[in-house]
Amino acid sequence: MKETILKKFEEVFGDSKDVTLYFAPGRVNMIGEHTDYNGGHVFPAALTIGTYAAARKRDDRKLRFYSMNFENLGVLETSLDELKPDPAADWTNYPKGVMWAFEEKGMKIPQGMDIVLNGNIPNGSGLSSSASVEVLTGYILKDMFGFDVTNQDLALIGQFSENNFNGVNCGIMDQFSIAMGKKAHAIFLDTADLSYEYAPIELKDAKIVISCSNKKRGLGDSKYNERRSECETALAELQKVIDIKSLGDLTEEQFDANKDAIQDEVRKKRAKHAVYENQRTIKAVEALKAGDIAQFGELMNASHVSLRDDYEVTGIELDTLVEEAWKVDGVIGSRMTGAGFGGCTVSIVKTDAIDNFIDKVGTVYKEKIGYAADFYVVELGDGPSVL
Ligand code: GLA
């Protein structure tokens, strides 16, 4: 990967003198979905796949970007004086957004840059290729210009840019798990106060398999914002009868006792998911700590059912992948991961059952959906680094 990206940098920008190479991972969320903007818990992990960058400072204020994942777009050029969202800027709105966010926070970027990116996270897969680019950009800026920011700051800056520059009201999970990743661990994060704990993922004779639906998210972003506002309205209704700051403050019992304050059945289901999913995440991490992987898997399955029936963010592609996975011997748990509406599922599968899993799930998926899914056996890795 290092040689490939350096060679490309030379090809695109002339030579590779003074170039530094960087990496930031993608992420998978094991459980705790659509809880991060509801003050609940999440349990994501950084992957060993992610985004690579070759970058170098310039003497002027120009920014030149090239992505090996979108070679048809060629070099996209702008400058530090034009940090505004622009549909024509395509994927570069992510790094530009982070540069804008640094400046908004008083960290003026002194010089332009030439940057080549190469990612091995499947695009639009729900493994956070965009948050990976955001954290990577922040990390490059910190390293090149010596800004005094922690990795946790990089996560918050990435989220700020996604919310305010790219118009997606995402929570903190993706950027946090990428910036704070730790090899072979997942992060049990309380999004109410950003307190967190690393939990080792020791699956013994099993591995994590990601099944990619190859359905692009499309309308996902607007649906995402819609779910978020449904939860906000439900919270405001509940606050009339119970003193809470977020849906994550409620136990299942408290929710059930107060749910009739929510004036609409759909909103009631959305809020129920947020409350129950948060409690499931807490229980899942307890089970994992106790070495009870079977129970962890059961909770993953219950998470999918709730995302399918109450939160309604799955769709036929993700449901097919998960429901077929449940039928295969050696599958400990399976659920959609990320925002939903397309993207990927995450499954824990016994190592000796993986070939059969890919064959069975892949065959039914292709028959039913009409195109193939892709499968990846993944490892959990560290946060961003200089290579
Ligand atoms: C997307 C968002 C996250 C989170 C998940 C759903 O990945 O970026 O903040 O809300 O969806 O859990």
Q: With pLDDT > 70 as the criterion, what percentage of the chain qualifies?
A: 98
- The pLDDT of residue 123 is above 90: no
Kindly give the distance from the C-alpha atom of residue 83 to the centroid of ligand 1, in angstroms, as a whole number.
25
Q: Which of 36, 128, 222, 281 to mutate to test the pocket of ligand 1 (most atoms within 8 A of CB)?
A: 36
pLDDT above 90 (res 279): yes
The mean pLDDT of the chain is 96
Instruction: Give the mean model confidence (pLDDT) for residues 223-247.
Output: 96
34 lines ligand 1 (CB under 6 A): yes
Interval between CA 287 and ligand 1 midpoint (Å) = 23
Is the distance from the beta carbon of residue 173 to the nearest atom of ligand 1 less than 6 Å? yes
Name the closest-CA residue to atom 8, ligand 1: 170
At residue 330, what are phi and psi to the nearest 5 degrees? Answer: 95, 0
What are the tokens at 135?
């954290």
Residue 6: band (very low, low, confident or very high) from pLDDT cuts 50, 70, 90:
very high
pLDDT digits (tens, 9 = 90+) for 330-357: 999 999 999 999 999 999 999 999 999 9
Q: Which residues contact 290 (CB under 8 A, 6 or more apart)?
A: none
Which residue puts its alpha carbon closest to atom 11 of ligand 1?
Answer: 339
Give the residue whose CA is nearest to atom 1 of ligand 1.
339
Ligand 1 centroid to 250 CA: how many Å?
20
Q: Which residues are catalytic, by number?
A: 174
- pLDDT for 239-261, tens place per residue? 999 999 999 999 999 999 999 99
For the domain made up of 2-200, give the CATH fold. Ribosomal Protein S5; domain 2 (3.30.230)
Task: Give 112 Cα–ligand 1 centroid separation in angstroms.
Answer: 31
Whether 126 shows a pLDDT value over 90: the answer reads no
Please report which confidence band the pLDDT of residue 220 belongs to, taking 50, 70 and 90 as the band edges.
low
Is domain 206-378 given the CATH code 3.30.70.890 in the classification?
yes
Q: Are 297 and 333 in contact (CB under 8 A)?
A: yes
Task: Determine if ligand 1 sits within 6 Å of the CB of residue 114.
Answer: no
Q: Once rounded to an integer, what is the mean pLDDT over residues 33-40?
A: 98
Separation of CA 215 from chain center? 16
| Confidence label for 312 from pLDDT (cuts 50, 70 and 90) | very high
* pLDDT, position 218: 57
- The string of pLDDT tens digits covering residues 133-159 is 999 999 999 999 999 999 999 999 999
Ligand 1 lined by 338 (C-beta under 6 Å): yes
Contact 179, 30 (CB under 8 A): no
171 Cβ below 6 A of ligand 1? yes
Residue spans of alpha helices (H) in the chain: 2-13, 93-104, 129-145, 151-164, 173-179, 220-239, 252-258, 265-289, 293-309, 316-327, 354-369
Helices 265-289 and 220-239 pack at an angle, to 10 degrees, of 90
CA of 170 to the centre of ligand 1 (A): 6
Q: Is the CB of 36 under 6 A from ligand 1?
A: yes
Ligand 1 atom closest to Cα of 42? 12
First to last CA, the chain: 11
- pLDDT above 90: percentage of residues in the chain: 94
Structure tokens at 96: 């530009």
The reply to whether 2-200 and 206-378 are identical in fold is no
Of 149, 247, 180, 189, nearest to 42 by C-alpha is 189
Q: Is the pLDDT reported for residue 308 higher than 80?
A: yes
Ligand 1: atom nearest CA of 29 is: 12
18 C-alpha to ligand 1 centroid (Å)? 36
- What is the structure's pLDDT at 298? 98
pLDDT at 230 > cutoff 90? yes
pLDDT tens column, 204-216: 899 999 999 998 7
Domain boundaries, the chain: 2-200, 206-378
Whole-number pLDDT of residue 79:
97
- For residue 37, give the ligand 1 atom closest to its CA: 10
Pocket test for ligand 1, best of 224, 273, 311, 345 (most atoms within 8 A of CB): 224
